[in-house]
Amino acid sequence: MKAFQQNLKKLEAADTQVLGVSMDSPYANKAFADQIGVTFPLLSDWGGEVTRQYGVYVDKYKAARRVNFLIGKDGKILEEQIDRDAIDPKKIVDECERKKLNR
């Protein structure tokens, strides 16, 4: 999440809203956001309905996989980063900036 925060200005400049999602409660997420200095919303998928809908629920951990989706203005998925690859969001930041230049 910190990595997205570091790139937030670039992403916002490229018309991109960042949303974190986990299966924690809204209040745990707020405390987490404050602790690590995240200013974008951390959404609470308590119960995991959306996590399952997106196919990233891991039964073994009773939690989500680490996955980033970049969704375009048309609602279609433009990019996915999965597990280890999801830690560094550079690919998504670059994609957003490239789209902006091509507009």
Partner 1 sequence: MKRRGVSAVLAVWLLTAAMVCPQVRAQGKPAPAPMKLKVGDVAPDFKLQYFDGNDDKNVTLSQYRGKSNVVLAFYIFAFTGG
DSSP letter assigned to residue 9: H
Question: How far, CA to CA in Å, does 101 sit from each of 46, 55, 66?
Answer: 38, 32, 29
Size, binding site for partner 1 by CB under 8 A: 62
Do residues 66 and 87 lie in contact, with contact meaning Cβ atoms separated by under 8 Å?
A: yes
- In angstroms, what is the minimal distance from the CB of 29 to partner 1? 5
Does 27 sit near partner 1 (CB under 8 A)? Answer: yes
Work out whether strand 42-44 and strand 63-64 pair parallel, antiparallel, or are unpaired: unpaired
Does 5 sit near partner 1 (CB under 8 A)? Answer: no
Does 90 sit near partner 1 (CB under 8 A)? Answer: no
- In sequence order, what are the beta bridge partners of 63? 58
Does 48 sit near partner 1 (CB under 8 A)? Answer: no
Does 35 sit near partner 1 (CB under 8 A)? Answer: yes
Among 14, 16, 17, which residue's Cα sits nearest to residue 100?
Answer: 14
- In angstroms, what is the minimal distance from the CB of 11 to partner 1? 7
Q: Which residues bind partner 1 (CB under 8 A)?
A: 1-4, 11, 14-24, 26-32, 35, 41-45, 50-51, 53-56, 61, 63-80, 82-83, 86-87, 89, 92, 96, 99
